[in-house]
Chains A and B, each alone.
Chain A
Amino acid sequence: MNNTDSPLMKWFDTRFKINALIEYMSNKSVPTHSHSSFYYLGGISLFLFIIQVVTGILLLMYYRPGADSAYESVQFIISNVSFGWLIRAIHSWSANLMIFFVFLHMFTVYFTKAYRKPRELTWITGMGLFVLALSFGFSGYLLPWNELAYFATRVGTGMAGAIPLIGDDIMTIMRGGEEVTGATIGRFFGLHVAILPGLFTLLLSLHLIFVQRQGMSEPVAWSAKPEHKKKYMKFFPSFILRDLLVWMVVLNVIAILAVFFPDGIGVVHWPLGEKADLFSPPPAVIRPEWYFMFAFQALKMLPAHVWFMEGELFGILLFTIGGVIWMIVPFIDKDAGQNKRSKAFTYFGCFVLAFILFMTVYGYLVE
């Protein structure tokens, strides 16, 4: 594909050597096999992030952080501003879908062992993005300052307070004081619209540069496959065009969901509800967003004391250890690095997935 004939391309090419970039991209290829569809999951997550940046900027035009204004401004957005309900619905739907696709992306990468050498840092940056995505969810949840958000944030920040020695200081910094108040909204707002997007963009750039430099990971079984039996498609334009097509499908799905279910459906919902009231007890059914449900349920099931520790601390410790192991998996799974099947890690992944699924479903059932 050579576009040097077009005057515009010529103009750019003399200045930025565009053709060299196109040449580079057209030499790249993407493996074609039965699990090729997994390669689109990262791109979908990226697209959903872009949608959130756009809708987030739009919501910023009317949202006013503060205990006396946050709830009222969200109410104003959804009831008075033209298409305000739609923008909020798209923001929330794309947020939930992004977390879902990030989970899917992470587990498919894990089970296909695409994290193995030489892609250790792609996995690590991906895990960083995963943690940031969850932080986006947690910080954004408080911003409407409604009843559910208020108590979810008290519990969530209270968990940080359970860490020995430094817990209280971390909790105070997170809350902007000892209690969840208007000061907390200010902090979460700054985190949600400035700090997290900045960090996310930085990590995302690294993640994408790594993917571009190294290309897509080939299946482990391909190492024993003769070259002529391996199939590939060109990254540019074949894969890119397919990627764009998938993005169009996702955009349409979001449009349908946002129009027909602006407040969400089932357990994935975000009704504005009542304004946070510090002098009222939490509603009888209180639960976090679905992607925190497994952790919430596990903590709920722990007894007050485990050995010499308080139950909540034991739970947090267990999750931290699990998270660290999960993060450094490319460095401890030596077999996968040599293109060997590493069953122990597959079983570990199955256990983690089963735990998350079981706790999530159980959490909703026991209510």
Chain B
Amino acid sequence: MSEEKSRRGFLEILLGSSAVMALSAVLYPIFKFITPPKTAEANLSQLKLSFTRAEIELEAQKAKYFKYGKALGIIFINEKNQLKAMDATCTHLDCTVQHRPDLGILWCSCHNGRYGLDGTNISGPPPRPLSTYAVKEVDDVIFVSKGDS
């Protein structure tokens, strides 16, 4: 009887574990399929912007956006007439920040997050400062690169 029971128990374990394995064999490819393949990060040492300072000045908010690899950046003219560039993605919940020359801040309208013009988070929900880009102006051409301005 007990031998009978242990044989049954063994078969149940066998059946149970094959069920788990069969299920994993179905679920694993599904999970991997829905995870998008990683695209390689563009290895940029610097980026030449397609617009000039004059074009930024023409904008009402004295700012323009650019793509740096996969990241969205913002370049603006501050109160000292300097060009500053930083990450445009709010560190709170991924919204896009905008330059508010009237308030002297970078502002995220989604949750009223405020950053100083150097990228530091000053009020509202953003937990971290925005990362900055170094800006170089050669003649009329603007170059941005990762790192402090």
Binding site for B on A (CB under 8 A): 151, 154-155, 157-159, 161-162, 169, 172-173, 176-179, 183, 278-286, 296, 299-300, 302-305, 310-312
Contact = CB atoms under 8 A, between A and B. Distances in A.
A193 to B, nearest CB: 16
Interface in B101-139: 109-112, 121, 124-127
Contacts of B97: 281
B94 A172 contact: no
Interface of B: 34-36, 39, 61, 65, 67, 70, 72, 88, 92-98, 109-112, 121, 124-127
A304 B110 CA distance: 14
Contacts of A178: 70
Contact of B34 (A161, A173, A300): A173
**Chain B interface, DSSP helix/strand/loop, else mixed:** loop
Nearest to B31: A173
Nearest to A304: B127
Given A172-B35, A281-B65, A303-B125, 16 more contacts: A154-B93, A154-B96, A155-B95, A176-B36, A179-B70, A279-B65, A279-B72, A286-B95, A300-B111, A304-B121, A304-B124, A304-B126, A310-B127, A311-B125, A312-B93, A312-B127
A163 to B, nearest CB: 12
A158 B112 contact: no
B94 A155 contact: yes
A312 B111 CA distance: 11
User: Closest 4 A-B residue pairs measured CB to CB?
Assistant: A158-B94, A281-B98, A158-B93, A279-B65
A106 B8 CA distance: 47
A218 to B, nearest CB: 42
B125 to A, nearest CB: 5
Max chain A CB contacts within 10 Å: which of B65, B67, B121? B65
A282 B125 CA distance: 17
Given A151-B110, A154-B94, A162-B93, A300 B35 contact: no
B93 A282 contact: no
Nearest to A283: B109
27 contacts: A151-B96, A154-B93, A154-B95, A155-B93, A155-B94, A158-B93, A158-B94, A158-B95, A162-B93, A173-B35, A176-B36, A177-B39, A183-B36, A278-B72, A281-B61, A281-B65, A282-B96, A282-B109, A284-B109, A296-B111, A300-B111, A300-B124, A302-B125, A304-B121, A304-B125, A304-B127, A312-B92
A280 B121 CA distance: 21
A66 B88 CA distance: 24
A172 B121 CA distance: 26
A164 B46 CA distance: 32
A48 to B, nearest CB: 30
Contacts of A177: 36, 39
Contacts, number: 80
Nearest to A367: B112
Contacts of A310: 127
B94 A299 contact: no
Contacts of B127: 304-305, 310-312
A159 B36 contact: no
A71 to B, nearest CB: 18
B111 A282 contact: no
Nearest to A310: B127
Nearest to A176: B36
A161 B127 CA distance: 14
B36 A281 contact: no
Given A161-B94, A304-B127, A155 B35 contact: no
A279 B65 CA distance: 6
Contacts of B92: 158, 312
Max chain A CB contacts within 10 Å: which of B36, B88, B93, B125? B93
A278 B65 CA distance: 9
A260 B96 CA distance: 35
Contacts of B109: 281-286
B35 A299 contact: no
A158 B112 CA distance: 16
A40 B93 CA distance: 39
Contacts of A279: 65, 67, 72
B125 A159 contact: no
Nearest to B37: A177
B94 A280 contact: no
